[in-house]
Structure 1
Amino acid sequence: MLFLARFILKGHSQAALVAATTALLGVLFTPALWVSGGAIVLVTLVKGPRQGIISMLLAIAGAALFSWLVFAAPQMAMMFVLMAWLPAWLIAAVLQQSVSLAYSLQVLTGIALAGVAVLYALWPDMGEAWREPLEQMATQLASQSDEFSLDDLNHTVDWLLAFMPALLASSVMFGAMISLFLGRWWQAVLYNPGGFGREFRSLNLGKTAALIALAIMLLAMVTGSVLVLGLVTVVLMTYSIQALSLIHAVVNIRQISGAWLFFAYALLFFIPHLLILVILLAFADPWLDIRGRLAAPGGNGPE
């Protein structure tokens, strides 16, 4: 990965080559899209937003040409721009100017919240394209199992289709976050070893963001609106990152073996309800200062 980062920074053509190639691979293997966005992020962080957008435009041209020659569908390149490169470049530009990971995530969350609202306003029925295959799956499942009734499964399908705009916005946001973290980690490895770890462990979104997030969640409980539930999805995704930051900070402060991180991630994977508990702690962290309270006497917090 370090070799790839150095190759990306050699010039616009190298960055565009990596971004376009990995984006096209992302058609078959989604994580490759995150690497693609990470390439744009790295150029933007190291060389500035203008250089980042030049690399992105070259990557667009390359992806469009390849898509036209192989798939006869150059519009695939625009899909990559809207879903992988443009959000990653935008949030990298914010980070490059603000030098604040917390502020950058706040901006990204705000954009995602606006994206959910816009999608529901302009394209609320976007999920209808998947209705027929999903209903066929529901019919097959109901016929093969006595545990599920067809009416219940069709109700689930209706809810899922109504939730599709929120899922799209959340998936784009998630990809942008992963690309941002990858690009920032590459930058730290090259120019500030250990810097990304310190930055991530110190992540605190602040009291105002927590209050806004809690207000959105309360609104969802009161209204039950699909739109507001979509906003909650974005909020929970953001605070799941702060929750993971808190776990990493505790392990670092207490100087616990790194094996505990693996154990913690395994628990969160197999018992997802634990993540909700840690997210609640992340909401409370701006007031409780959990990192400071757990720090050893005379310690300076996460290193």
Structure 2
Amino acid sequence: MKKVLFATTALIATAGMAAAEINFGGSARFGVIYDSTPTAADELAIHNRFTLNIDGSVETDTGIEFFARVRVRGGNTGTGTTSASGVSAPRVGLSVAGFTLATGNILGALESTPGLYDGAVGLTGLGWKNLPTNTLNDGYWGWDSFSSAGGGANGVEVIYSNAGFGGHLSWSGTGTDRTALNLSYNFGDWTVAAGYQDDSGAGDTWLLTAGGSFGNFGVGAAYADNPTTQKWRINGSASFGSGTTVTAFVADEDGAIKYDTTWGLGFTHSLGGAVLAGGVVGDEGGENQADLGVRFSF
């Protein structure tokens, strides 16, 4: 994401004093969404979303960076009245020598597992059914993640990366105790990762991912053993010289109730500063969702 420096709280060259800055950056999107589900509020709906990240940081003369982030997000889908934007709780911490310690509205280790989101299609993600940790049997989004317009989980996390190796440990005690860990290794154009979460209320989740690229093609696979459900996903992509990428995924879950195999197909096309994106998904119940629109960063 391109970040633009709008304001600087302090740029002090005096020896022994820290330099501080504030950065603003974000993204937006708009388009239309189709949903054939009988319970959908609108079969065809107008969609838009705006995100603004506000990042403050200061680096001490000993090389420690202290940072803080809040996010403003607003968006609306449908044909009714619009709702107001919200401001997230802050994420605050420090980074030094490859280590990051953060508190508050944490990212979450399971959420941050490399490869978890691979295979995403469409302008909006179309329900993010490509995630092996999202299942109808066990539910969706059952882990800690940064809340873009609300409170999130008030937790603590430690992140480390060096020479292709990555590790992330997080904990929160909001409602139930959640301890999560991911480990990853990147070698060339390929990454393998494993994630784990112990939720005192819901149970354990195990996650394995692998993915990479060769030439203009990308491939990936993921498997999650959720509290009561196992789900796998395979995905692939192909890029073309015109700035177009086509992505597809197939996923299936095996739990107490057997659902249809989920699939998705989408594309992105560069507009030179913005991206045209669209896709279609066949969900677990045999219904279809689709979207089309433009997204851009600033």
Normalised to the residue count of structure 2, the TM-score between the two structures is 0.26
| Structure holding more helix per residue | 1
| Structure holding more strand per residue | 2
Normalised to the residue count of structure 1, the TM-score between the two structures is 0.26
